[in-house]
Amino acid sequence: MGQIVGIDLGTTNSVIGVIEAGRPIIIANSEGSRTTPSIVGFTKDKEIVIGDQARRQLVLNPKNTFYNLKRFIGSDWDELDDTSISVPYNVKANNNGSVRVLSPNTEREYAPEELVSSLIRKLINDAETYLGDTIDSAVITVPAYFNESQRQATKDSAILAGIKVDRILNEPTAAALAYGFEKSSSNNVLVFDLGGGTFDVSLLKISNGVFDVKATCGDTQLGGNNFDSKIVDWLAEKFLAKYDIDLRRDRQALQRLTEAAEKAKCELSGLPKTRISLPFITTSNDGPLHIEETLDRNIFESLSQDLLDRLLEPVQIALDDSGWNAEDIDEVVLVGGSTRIPMVQQLVKTLVPNEPCQSVNPDEVVAIGAAIQSGIISGDLQDLLLNDVTPLSLGLETIGGLMKVLIPRNTPIPVRQSDVFSTSEANQSSVVVQVRQGERPLASENKSLGKFRLSGIPPAPRGIPQVQVAFDIDANGLLEVSATDRTTGRKQTVTISGGSNLNEQEINSIIEEAKTKANEDRIKRSVIDRKNSALTLIAQAERRLRDASLEFGPYGAERQQRAVELAIEDVEEYIDDDPQELEISVSALQEALFGLNRKFAAEKKTDNNPLQSIKNTFGSLKDELFSDEYWDDDPWDNQINRNYRNSRYGNSRDDDPWDNDYFL
């Protein structure tokens, strides 16, 4: 049986953790970093690149490099704001109103879930390499204010990556788990989670290993990227006023502006002002144009006032729902890299009169919490209990277009609620159950999660039939709805997943395609690895030949050197052609290097006796220079037609006139 891990699937960066020896740890990726950029791209050769490799091609290949995917996952096109769709690559709505991402290099469009699954697969592969074991399942975190569709879409991404999801965990709850791990005191905790693309606030009561979520609220379209956009717009507007050129219409220029804005935002967290320098940002009839601007903290804060206002409302709503006052909060935990912004920290201090906790790493705390939850599920961690809540109200659309709430927001989960409904017309034989999620009184203004029909209701006057509708929410926050006709006992049950960007057929199709391409990718990777190994061996051999020339002179290990050189030539000849011949030539080069290394080892044994070493050196040189066997019967000379003067490291002594001059 494989292991279970915890994954923080972030907008900007993603992190994976695991329980090891009873404690949660973060697993570094194959590049050695503890965080992996949540970026997926395609090269000109149609190869997929993920993480740091994808980040490196952001500027030069913006149309085929995708980030901020978390904002698209499980969302309809109409639900996205202007900031979310203002990206250098192409996004569009398909016929169903779902978001699709277009890649010119591969000439196809992708669902966000499909691209995110590639990121999850990389995290899993890196973790399996570290653990030396397979991983079958995971706990994956999502923003607390993710709706049913977004949670289901996250689960779909994991399924596409070949991973079972044991638990969908709210990010603030995960952070609280990390904060309260191994703490026995009783505290009321406010988790303020401002990541790259989403914002959540949760209130929890932590007491002796019991984590009880009281309320949660947030904004899935608000994060650090919005602050970056303010700086981008500021730079672009100044450039537009000066040169009458809008850099936001140039994909490469926009990407450079975005990267510079993010860097400036980070620098302003520790400095009062920062210099933004972007040479050759574009060209005009007068030549290349540059950006040289100074941004101070006051300007940045004035640009971001509306974003600060958007942070206030969810905090107040969560406090109202929990019934707590600000004075009841014992500890404030800041989560997400954007909480490092000074004006955000000041805002938190004005809301809760406590110094925020600095004992957790904002970038890793969610993954640590996810790993702890994975330990609870696997049984590695005992005496911990988590009670979470549903973030949004769930109900039905009734006659007149009103929303009938069955499960109010912040209801502890898992939970089951039911109510009895009837028909609106006489002799009505079926009813349509339209499931909605949201806080608006009109059903049409809330998110539609799907609908189904219950048929076979016996004819009866209006209002007589009784149909019991039940909502079941599991620990993952995933919903199952059932409708039962009390007269006939006829029942219809459905797991709500209609809001996902992918239906079951599309998921199966993508999984099959991934399996097919897995073999192709494995072959490509094998060829690349074989070539890289051969190049590495050639570099080692060339260094060893240089060492031999310095150690032995031109003739001390001539046979061994020539063997290595011939083997190098064979490897170079087959490195891009025949894999089997390449493997044979690599083995020959390794054997030749082994012979040269033995010569080194034998020489070192004589180093302890200086007189013997000198005698051996001159004796060997004399024998080689005047031996008929050396000139006539050497098999190496026969093999290369005594053409050693073309060697890269030796001196030829055949018929070359320059060599004859050497012997005068």
Q: Which residues of 462-478 are buried (b: 16+ CB within 10 A; e: fewer)?
A: eeebebebbbbbeebbb
Q: Which residues of 573-601 are buried (b: 16+ CB within 10 A; e: fewer)?
A: ebbeeeeeebeebbebbeebbeebeebee
Separation CA 422–CA 463 (nearest Å): 5
Burial of 49 (0-12, 13-18, 19+ CB in 10 A): buried
Separation CA 81–CA 221 (nearest Å): 7
8 A C-beta contact, residue 261 and residue 251: no
8 A C-beta contact, residue 222 and residue 338: no
Separation CA 586–CA 593 (nearest Å): 10
8 A C-beta contact, residue 478 and residue 495: yes
φ and ψ at residue 295, rounded to 5 degrees: -115, 120
Separation CA 314–CA 322 (nearest Å): 12
8 A C-beta contact, residue 479 and residue 449: yes
Reading the block at residue 600, the tokens are 């080194």
**What HEC string does 275-343 produce?**
EEEEEEEEEECCEEEEEEEEEEHHHHHHHCHHHHHHHHHHHHHHHHHHCCCHHHCCEEEEECHHHHCHH
Separation CA 193–CA 200 (nearest Å): 5
Separation CA 166–CA 155 (nearest Å): 10
Burial of 215 (0-12, 13-18, 19+ CB in 10 A): buried
> Cβ neighbours of residue 65 under 8 Å, at least 6 residues apart?
39, 40, 41, 42, 54, 57, 58, 88, 89
Q: Of 171, 197, 200, 228, which is closest to residue 364 (Cα–Cα)? A: 171
Cite the active site residues: 8, 70, 171, 193
SS3 271: coil
Q: Which residues of 492-513 are buried (b: 16+ CB within 10 A; e: fewer)?
A: bebebbbbbbbeeebbeebeee
Separation CA 465–CA 459 (nearest Å): 8
- Given the structure tokens 């000066």, which residue do they identify? 242
Separation CA 51–CA 127 (nearest Å): 15
